[in-house]
């Protein structure tokens, strides 16, 4: 593990646990560029009182929440905790009183000394903002741990029904939490609490919201299954066309456009660039169709919307199509039989339109339905290039 900046060496309090594995909070992993796939770390134990005092005052983890490089949080909510915070703050999520108090009473008296008093405050603010005085939900749980005079407003697309996150007097009355508001971004809640209320309050917020989100996930449960990766056959567009058929129609239109470019462009270099651009449209349009076809309650979509894992490009590849695969910025070259074939699996002549473009790296299949052997080979070509680039490139920092 490379140590490239100030926050990659931090002072931490030691808690003795069984076994010999180092354990650390997920929120702090970004500072060390650490993950859990075999990383190793070193411990330096301060011996003198002077060095211990210096570390506590200068290098403690709570004083490294904000990165000096970009003034963004080094510590933030990630992965499971981020997903849990997003899911529980959606307007559709409800909790029973038993579940609400079971989680809130585990927080601890040092963070939340009077739960009932805080609930009364939340209800007063909700009524003041013209909302239902319903606090037994995820928004209410997070509102328990925010400062009484904390106000915040930020646009995000976490909840289509409420595109703005709004907090007034420490109460979330609209919107949902996601990466842009509790992640490693500028103007996040963590950054503002650290600036306005100090490092102790910011570290307490990070620790407590993780605890709440993880406990909420224990109550609600979450999993991504095969069903979440399949476009429902009943999903149709405004013209009554099935979404799967809509993707096939897009592919056909791209093939037709590419054929027209062949007959209208004389310069071979320009022709190849224009054909590649036309075929690449299929992936972009397929992404939008696949994204719109999934229900807002789709668990796969939740992981992307929350910022926990993946992006919409992954969704398009799994549910829609992989599209054009490129090698060094160009389509797969014809290197066999004097520039006539890319692989020996394709005939010498009389190729269908689909075969012709597939032989140059166009994949119309998706991961959920599987790639045929020739498509798999094409996908392996571009994947191998990515691995090579990663190995030989110098990472900027």
The per-residue pLDDT for range 270-280, each reduced to its tens digit, is 988 898 888 88
Please give the pLDDT value at position 272: 87
Q: What is the pairing mode between strands 362-363 and 326-327? A: unpaired
Closest CA to 92 of 138, 46, 131: 138
| 192 pLDDT tier (thresholds 50, 70, 90) | very high
Residue 1 has pLDDT above 50, yes or no: no
Least confident window among 45-49, 303-307, 384-388: 384-388
Higher pLDDT, 68 or 393: 68
Q: Write the pLDDT tens digit of every residue in 149-167.
A: 899 998 887 777 888 889 9
Please give the pLDDT value at position 328: 83
The helix (run of H) or strand (run of E) holding residue 124 is: helix 115-128
Closest CA to 125 of 117, 113, 115, 133: 133
Q: Write the pLDDT tens digit of every residue in 194-213.
A: 999 998 999 999 999 999 99
Q: What is the pTM of this model?
A: 0.84
Distance in angstroms (rounded) separating the CA atoms of residues 43 and 58: 17
Helix (H, G, I), strand (E, B) or coil at 83: helix
Architecture in CATH for domain 79-220: Orthogonal Bundle (1.10)
Distance in angstroms (rounded) separating the CA atoms of residues 140 and 122: 7
What tokens appear for 263 in the block?
A: 């007959």
What is the topology classification, in CATH, of domain 234-392? Answer: Topoisomerase I; Chain A, domain 4 (1.10.132)
Residue 392 has pLDDT above 90, yes or no: no
Please give the pLDDT value at position 210: 92
Least confident window among 266-270, 284-288, 311-315: 284-288
Higher pLDDT, 108 or 80: 80
Helix (H, G, I), strand (E, B) or coil at 196: helix
In whole angstroms, how far apart are CA 276 and each of 251, 307, 317? 13, 31, 18
Please give the pLDDT value at position 51: 92
Residue 367 has pLDDT above 80, yes or no: yes
**How is the chain split into domains, by residue range?**
6-52, 79-220, 234-392
Residue 234 has pLDDT above 80, yes or no: no
């Amino acid at each position: 593990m490379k140590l490239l900046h100030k926050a990659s060496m931090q002072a931490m309090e030691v808690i003795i646990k069984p076994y010999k594995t180092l354990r650390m909070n997920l929120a702090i992993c970004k500072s060390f560029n650490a993950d859990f796939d075999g990383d190793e770390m070193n411990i330096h134990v301060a011996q003198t009182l002077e060095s211990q005092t210096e570390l506590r005052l200068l290098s403690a983890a709570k004083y490294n929440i904000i990165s000096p490089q970009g003034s963004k949080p080094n510590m933030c909510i990630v992965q499971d905790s981020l997903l849990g915070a997003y899911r529980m703050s959606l307007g559709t999520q409800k909790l029973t009183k038993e579940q609400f108090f079971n989680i809130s009473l585990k927080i601890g008296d040092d963070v939340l000394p009077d739960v009932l008093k805080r609930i009364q405050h939340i209800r007063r603010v909700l009524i003041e903002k013209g909302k239902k005085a319903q606090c037994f939900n995820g928004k209410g749980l997070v509102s328990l741990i925010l400062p009484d005079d904390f106000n915040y407003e930020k646009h995000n697309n976490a909840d289509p029904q409420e595109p703005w996150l709004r907090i007034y007097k420490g109460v979330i009355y609209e919107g949902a939490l996601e990466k842009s508001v509790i992640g490693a971004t500028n103007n996040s809640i963590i950054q503002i609490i650290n600036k306005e209320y100090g490092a102790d309050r910011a570290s307490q917020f990070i620790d407590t919201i993780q605890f709440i989100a993880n406990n909420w996930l224990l109550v609600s449960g979450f999993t991504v299954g095969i069903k979440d990766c399949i476009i429902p056959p009943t999903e149709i567009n405004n013209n009554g066309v099935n979404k799967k058929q809509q993707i096939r129609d897009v592919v056909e239109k791209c093939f037709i456009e590419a054929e027209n470019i062949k007959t209208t462009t004389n310069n071979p270099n320009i022709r190849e660039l224009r054909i590649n651009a036309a075929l690449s449209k299929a992936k972009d349009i397929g992404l939008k169709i696949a994204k719109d076809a999934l229900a807002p309650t789709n668990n796969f979509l939740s992981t992307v919307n929350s910022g926990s894992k993946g992006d919409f490009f992954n969704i398009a590849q799994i549910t829609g199509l992989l599209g054009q695969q490129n090698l060094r910025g160009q389509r797969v070259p014809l290197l066999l039989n004097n520039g006539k074939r890319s692989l020996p699996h394709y005939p010498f002549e009389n190729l269908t339109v689909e075969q012709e473009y597939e032989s140059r790296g166009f994949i119309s299949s998706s991961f959920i339905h599987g790639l045929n052997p020739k498509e798999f080979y094409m996908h392996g070509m571009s994947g191998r290039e990515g691995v090579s680039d990663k190995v030989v490139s110098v990472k900027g920092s």
